[in-house]
Amino acid sequence: MADQAGDKAFLQFTHVKKTYDHKTLVVKDFNLQVAKGEFITLLGPSGSGKTTCLMMLAGFEDVTSGEILINGRSVTSIAPYARNIGMVFQQYALFPHMTIRENLAYPLKIRKQSKPEIQRKVDEYLALVELQDFGGRYPGQLSGGQRQRVALARALIFAPDIVLMDEPLGALDKKLREQMQFEIKRLHEQLGFTVIYVTHDQTEALTMSDRIAVFNNGEVQQCAAPNVLYERPANLFVADFIGESNKLPGVIESVGDELVTVRLDSGAQVSALKANCDQVGQPTTVSIRPEKLTFTDHLGKAGNQVQARFIVRHYVGEYIRYHFQTADGCELVVKNLNDSSAPQLSAKDEVALAWLPQDSQALDVRPDTPVS
């Protein structure tokens, strides 16, 4: 699947494939163009191919076929140390016997920079990650968040063309992880470096990225801005993997310019945006985000409705999750703000759930079918 970043792509993957046994492709025809300064996240479940793509770019894995170019130059056959790429790992990879200053100075020393220049840059980057008073300490004397900031500074200090981040926040707790997300974005916006970021955390990807490439079984299912992925998923896999999605099965009865009419298995007739499923008589799944469903009838004739039986509610703090079941056995989840609008329901109450057609999509029942 190709994706364009404009006419002046800084980084290009062109028909890149990878196999370890000469039989099974773990990366299948990967194409991606990245503009200078972009923050691109490779997102997907374990074993989907995202980390393999990162390792091929770093030079730690060979490319089976295809080509990787940085600033117009092929790096496919260039040694890792000659690619001018910085890396940040989950386990920090700091030298435990070196002080923080010595850790930051190391990539500059091996590039034979002068002592005054090294001292100036180390001071600059310690200040940049707000660790000015920690230069004399050793990694073991820092917290996890502080060590991750040191690892980030060390990856940036020699001005690499691209910074690769492989699950860099995976070892941190939730609160510290969120703080580091904003820290990385702050530095990215301040310094303008190009980032290729690997994670399986959907919230992290949505929060940080300019674009996200969603992987499954070695293929990119969709590459787009976070809001596009969430609001207009290309297929059922993306709809399920990015956030949460309610699914109602049915058959397409009619097709318009933007909307299709669907007869649900429950018998209800609804309208939805057509995505990768737009033929009369074609089985489809109508996908709706939980926050798009409402209990009220203020949508009138413009909205869709289905009847459902209340099962249980879960208190999540800022919102409440309501679980329902339709007559044909479909489970539906509604997210409602924890305020005065939150309804009080009893077990087995029958409720009409409503949503706008443009807040749902008719998707092919095959999970990885792309938009045509």
Residue-wise pLDDT tens digits, 328-361: 999 999 998 888 777 888 888 999 999 999 999 9
Given a cut of 60, is residue 4 above it in pLDDT?
no
**Strand 85-89 and strand 162-166: pairing?**
parallel
State residue 2's pLDDT score.
Answer: 42
pLDDT band at 372 (very low <50, low <70, confident <90, very high): very low
List C-alpha distances in Å: 141 to 98, 105, 136, 173: 12, 18, 10, 18
Given a cut of 50, is residue 318 above it in pLDDT?
yes
For 38, the token pair is 């972009």
DSSP secondary structure, 171-209, as one string: TS-HHHHHHHHHHHHHHHHHH--EEEEEES-HHHHHHH-
Share of the chain above pLDDT 90, in %: 75
Given a cut of 60, is residue 304 above it in pLDDT?
yes
List C-alpha distances in Å: 112 to 85, 103, 201: 17, 15, 38
Strands of the chain, DSSP E: 9-19, 25-35, 39-43, 65-70, 73-74, 85-89, 162-166, 194-199, 211-216, 219-224, 246-255, 259-264, 269-274, 283-288, 304-315, 319-325, 331-337, 350-355, 360-364
Separation CA 239–CA 245 (nearest Å): 6
State residue 90's pLDDT score.
Answer: 76
Separation CA 208–CA 198 (nearest Å): 11
Are both 9-236 and 245-364 of the same fold? no
Task: Choose the weakest-confidence range: 52-61, 87-96, 282-291.
Answer: 87-96
Separation CA 315–CA 338 (nearest Å): 8
State residue 172's pLDDT score.
Answer: 80
Q: Which CATH superfamily groups domain 9-236?
A: P-loop containing nucleotide triphosphate hydrolases (3.40.50.300)
Helix (H) or strand (E) holding 52: helix 50-58
Separation CA 295–CA 351 (nearest Å): 7
List C-alpha distances in Å: 14 to 3, 36, 70, 221, 248: 10, 17, 11, 16, 38
Task: Choose the weakest-confidence range: 1-5, 104-108, 307-311.
Answer: 1-5
Per-residue pLDDT tens for 201-226? Answer: 899 999 999 999 999 999 999 999 99
- Residue 308, number of CB atoms within 10 A of its CB: 23
Separation CA 75–CA 56 (nearest Å): 10
Count CA within 13 A, CB hemisphere, residue 123.
Answer: 6
Q: Which CATH superfamily groups domain 245-364?
A: Nucleic acid-binding proteins (2.40.50.140)
Q: How far apart are the first and last CA of the chain?
A: 12
Domain spans in the chain, listed from the N-terminal domain onward: 9-236, 245-364
Separation CA 308–CA 267 (nearest Å): 13
| 298 compared with 321, residue with greater pLDDT | 321
pLDDT band at 106 (very low <50, low <70, confident <90, very high): very high
For 311, the token pair is 């099962």
Q: Where are the alpha helices (DSSP H) in 62-217?
A: 100-109, 115-128, 144-156, 174-191, 202-208
